[in-house]
Structure 1
C-alpha cells in the first residue's frame, strides 16, 4: 500500500524536485485569479452579455477538467434561476438551441474541439455567445465575429486544473448579469479571500502535522477513496475531488452526493476493503502484527471516505441532510474506514464552495508528491495525445 512520505512534502528541495512545474504555486494563485478575472471581464464588456436581455436557456460548453464550470453554474442557478441551465462537452449542439438561447463556451487554450465546435454552431444559429479562453485563439475569433463577449484568461495559465478560477469567474459574472445566479463582484471577492486563506493554511512551508491538506493526503494515501458531498454544493466539490485525484494523484475514486449516494456508499462497507466485509480478509490482515506478507500476501488497502460538508442551517431539509451525513459517517467508522471530514466555513455559497475546491486541489497535489508522483506530468496522458494526434 502506498504511504505518504512526509519528507517529500515538507522539505523544500524535495518539493522543488517532485513538483517540476510548480503546481502548488499555481494553486496558490487562485484568489489572485478571481481578482484578475473580474478586471478582465469588466474590460471585455461583460455587461453587454446577451445584449442586455435574458436568454430562454443557457448551455455551458466545456470538456475535461473545465466541465466543473458548468457544474458550478448549474448548482448556483438551481435555487432561483428563471431559465434552465444545461451543459455539454461536444458536438452536436442540441437542436433546441437557437437565437433566443445563450451558449457559454470555456477552453483555456481556446482550441479544444468540443467547446470550439459548439461555439461555431451556436454562432451559426444566431445564439448569444460568452466565451472564456486565450485571447489569441479560434474561440475568441468566433465570438468576436458573432458579436459576443470573449474574456481572456491572463498570462501564465498553462493548465486548466490550476486555472479553474480564471475560467469560472467570468462565467459567474455573466450569469449574475443575466440574473440567473447570485454571483456578484462582492460574492466573488469574498471567494477570493477564502481561496487566499486556504493557500495560507495549505502552504508548502506548513509542516505535515499542522497542514490540513497534508494531513488529509496522509490519511487517504493507503486507501481506496470514496468522496461524498452532503448536498448539491458539496457534490460539485466531490466531482472536482475525484477528477483531481485521478488526473493529479493517479488515484481512481468514486464520488457522489447525499441523499442519492447514501446507500451506494454504505453498501461498500460490506465489501473487501473494510473490517467487516470480504470475510474480514483485508483489514484483519492489516491489523495482525504477526501477519507474514510473504505467506499471507500483502494487506489490501482499506476504504477511505472523504466527506465534504456544507454549513448546516435550521431548515428541515438541511437538518435531515445533517442527520443522514452523521449516520453515514458513523457507519463508516464502525466499518473501519479511514475518514477525512471537511466542513465549509460560513459565508456566501461561492465562498463556501471555493474553500472546498481549494482543499481538494491541495489534497490531491500533496498526495501525488508524497507518493512519488509528479502532479503535472503523466507519461500515459502524453502517450495518449501522441496516439490520437490528428484525429
Structure 2
C-alpha cells in the first residue's frame, strides 16, 4: 500500500514553511547564490596560487555523507580529459602512494567530519599539497594552514551539507580548472548559478502543483517503489544524488544505477512483485478467473474451455490492472495491495550533433522505458537542459533535491530532522 501524500499541503506555502523547520526549501533555492559566494570566497582564499604550482601527479578527494557528491562530480567531469588520475577516498587509510607530488582535497561543511579531517592530517604529515573546504574556525582549516595549504571558507548560515552542495563543490571545481584537470572557468560556473536560479524560480513553494514539475514528481514518486536510473555518466551521478536525497530527506529507499551497466539489473525488477506483470509476460492470460453464479472456473486451464451461451469467460487485464491495480481486489479479504514500481529516468540533453555512441545510448534508454511501461511500472522522465556538463548536472540536481523535499513534507515529515539519525549519533558519540 503506497504512503499517503497530502497534495493540498504542497500548495500551501505557509504550511510548507511550518513543516520545514530548518528552511530546507529556502536553502535549496539559494544554490545559485551559493555558487557566486563560493567563487568570491575561493578568490579570497588565494585559490589562484594553484596556477603557480606544478601540476600534481594525482588528486585524491576526501568527502563523506552529504558532501560525498563533490568527489563523484569531480571524477565525472575530470575523467574525459584530465592529464592526471582523480580518485575519491572516504576515510583512512590514505593510499601508500600519496606523497609530496600529490594533491589531497578534503571537504567537510563543519570541518570536523572524521574521515576528511583524518585524511587531510595524514596527507599533511606526508608533505602532500592540500586544498580544503569547510568552516573557517574548524580543525580542518587549522590542518590546512599548518601545512601551508589553501583553505576555502563556507560562509555563514550553512547548516546542512545536503543543502550546501554548491558551497562545497564550487571551490573544488575552481581549483580543478586552475590545474587544468577540467574545463570550469568562471563563465561556466556563472552559467551554473543562473541555471540554478531559474530552477529555484520554477520550483518555488508558491508555484502550484499542477505547474510545478518538482511537486508533480514528488506526488508520482509517493505512489511507487522508486528506482532511479541515469542514461549515462552524468545522469548516473545525478541518480546517486536522487537516491541519497530520497533516503535522507524523504525517508524513501531508492535503488539507483547508470546505463548501460545497470540495464539488466534494473530491467530484472520489472518481473518482480511490484509490477502488473508480476513474473508473467504482458499479453498473456491472467491466471485468475471470474466466478459466475455457482460456477467457479478458477481451476480451469487457460485456452482449454468453451464459452457456452456466454456463461463462462476468461478475462484479460484491463487498463487498471496493466497499471498495477486490480479493480476486483478486495482490500479486506486480499489485504492491501503492493505499491507499484516506479522508474525515474534522468536523461541528459540530446547530443549536438548526434554521434553513433549517443544514438546507441538513446536506443538503449528508449528500450528500457518501453520495457518498463509494458511491465506496468510507472515511468517518470526528467530531461536536462542544454549547456556545459556541469550546467546540465545542476539541472538534474535541482529537480531531484526539490522533489525529495516536497515528498518529505507531503508525507508529513520534516525534511531537516530525522529522530533515528539523531538516536544513532547519540549512541555512537
Partner Cα distance (1:319, 1:82) in 2: 28
What's 1:239 paired with? Answer: 240
Matches within 5 A, 1:1-391: 1-49=2-50, 51-278=52-279, 287-313=325-351, 314-389=354-429
Q: Is contact 1:135-1:151 (8 Å) kept?
A: yes
TM-score, length-scaled by structure 1: 0.97
- C-alpha displacement of 1:290: 3.7
List 4+ stretches of structure 1 deviating above 3 A: 278-286
Q: Is contact 2:321-2:327 (8 Å) kept?
A: no
Q: Is contact 2:323-2:378 (8 Å) kept?
A: no
> Are the structure 2 counterparts of residues 50 and 137 from structure 1 closer, same or farther at C-alpha, using a change threshold of 3 Å?
farther
Q: Is contact 2:323-2:376 (8 Å) kept?
A: no
SS in 2 for 1:287: coil
How big is each residue's C-alpha offset from its partner over 1:212-238, in whole Å with a ceiling of 9 and x where there is no partner?
000011111011100000011111000
- C-alpha displacement of 1:283: 5.7
Gaps of 5+ in 1: none
Larger C-alpha radius of gyration, 1 or 2? 2
TM-score, length-scaled by structure 2: 0.89
How big is each residue's C-alpha offset from its partner over 1:69-96, in whole Å with a ceiling of 9 and x where there is no partner?
0000001001100000000111111111
Q: Is contact 1:220-1:338 (8 Å) kept?
A: no
**276-285 vs 202-211, which moves further:** 276-285
**By percentage of residues, which structure has more helix?**
1
Gaps of 5+ in 2: 281-285, 289-319
How big is each residue's C-alpha offset from its partner over 1:290-342, in whole Å with a ceiling of 9 and x where there is no partner?
42211111010000011001112211111111110011011111111111101
SS in 2 for 1:129: strand
Q: Is contact 1:312-1:319 (8 Å) kept?
A: no
Number of aligned residue pairs: 389
> Are the structure 2 counterparts of residues 176 and 56 from structure 1 closer, same or farther at C-alpha, using a change threshold of 3 Å?
same
SS in 2 for 1:161: coil
